Amino acid sequence: MWLHFGGKNIIIDPGPGSLIRMFERGLEPRDLNVVVLSHRHLDHVADVASVVESATDANKNKLDLLLAPYDALDGEDPVVLKYTKKGFKRIEIISMKNQYQLEEITIRPLIPHIHQGATVYSLEFRYKDKIFIYVPCGKFYEDMLYAYPQNPDLMVFNTTFVKPNLNYYHLSAEEVEKIIDKVRPKKVVLTHFSINMLKANPKKVAEGIKERTKVEVMAAHDGMKVEF
């Protein structure tokens, strides 16, 4: 996901094919300033080395910031190469104790997620009066209803299933709807769909949530652009 926010270009979770998608959509990797990894799983980070290699012209021009959990950077099986780390002026480990400043943009974790084999956090991006919240993979629990600021401008939810699936630590549309109803964001995008969700038609699922909550809810698709 490419986020243009506060005058900076931020890529969040460059999974498989991210670099190709950039070129297909007319986005220039050299315009990137920040890379954010929500967690270490390959469907969220597989293209990080390729993206950074292209964005930095093989580390000749360093990006401003890499932000990621400890186990993505320095754990037993890190997913960011030592060579790739050389492409950044600054590297920060996400922790609930900290928030991260890049000029007028503040990034802070809001709540840890429960997810197999990875440290994961919801992240808030704040610039002046604008708030964007990214909710990555993880099992729903009640604290999530109270972790987010009210009425953010945009929330993006990794919404893997239609209904809760106890065999997997991923959010469902039913659980996301509970959060939406509590937090009342101005706009919502659902993404990261399983086959289960695709068979149910994500657009129809989003329309159902929109009708019940009266919040603008959209299902993500390739090349989607959202203004907020």
Residue range 45-70, pLDDT digits in tens: 999 999 999 999 999 999 999 999 99
Half-sphere exposure of 6 (CA within 13 A, CB side): 18
Nearest to 73 by CA among 99, 95, 103, 51: 95
Contacts of 151 (CB under 8 A, 6+ apart): 183, 184, 185, 186
CB distance 141 to 175 below 8 Å: no
Q: pLDDT category, 1, cuts 50, 70, 90? A: very high
Give the phi and the psi of residue 166 in degrees, each rounded to 5.
-70, -15
Q: Assign 3-class secondary structure to the chain.
A: CEEEECCEEEEECCCCCHHHHHHHCCCCHHHCCEEECCCCCHHHHCCHHHHHHHHCCCCCCCECEEEECHHHHCCCCCCCCHHHHCCECCEEECCCCCCEEECCEEEEEEEECECCCCCCEEEEEEECCEEEEEECCCECCHHHHCCCCCCCCEEEEECCECCCCCCCCCCEHHHHHHHHHHHCCCEEEEECCCHHHHHHCHHHHHHHHHHHHCCEEEECCCCCCCCC
- Read off the pLDDT band of 172 (50, 70, 90): very high
More confident of the two residues 76 and 15: 15
Q: Which pLDDT band holds residue 41 (cuts at 50, 70, 90)?
A: very high
Residue 150 has pLDDT above 90, yes or no: yes
Mean pLDDT, rounded, for 167-187: 97
Mean pLDDT computed over 210-227: 97
Q: Are 61 and 26 contacting, i.e. CB atoms less than 8 angstroms apart? A: no
Confidence at 75, pLDDT banded by 50, 70, 90: confident
How many residues comprise the chain? 228
Residue 86 has pLDDT above 90, yes or no: yes
Residue 108 has pLDDT above 90, yes or no: yes
Q: Which CATH architecture has domain 1-134?
A: 4-Layer Sandwich (3.60)
pLDDT for 184 equals 98
Q: Is the pLDDT of residue 34 over 90?
A: yes
CA angle (54 as vertex; 121, 120 as ends), nearest 5: 10
Q: What is the spatial distance between Cα 153 and Cα 226, in angstroms, rounded to a whole number?
A: 11
Strand partners for 102: 105
Q: What is the pLDDT of residue 62?
A: 97
State the average pLDDT over residues 30-53: 97
Instruction: For the chain, give every domain's residue range.
Output: 1-134, 139-228
Instruction: Evaluate if residue 174 carries a pLDDT over 90.
Output: yes
Q: Distance between CA 228 and CA 181 in Å, rounded?
A: 19
CATH superfamily of 139-228: Ribonuclease Z/Hydroxyacylglutathione hydrolase-like (3.60.15.10)
The answer on pLDDT for 76 being more than 90 is no
pLDDT of residue 72: 97
pLDDT average, residue stretch 222-228: 95
Task: Point out the least confidently predicted range of 49-53, 73-77, 92-96, 195-199.
Answer: 73-77
Instruction: Please report the pLDDT score of residue 179 as a whole number.
Output: 98
> pLDDT tens digit string along 116-148?
999 999 999 999 999 999 999 999 999 999 999
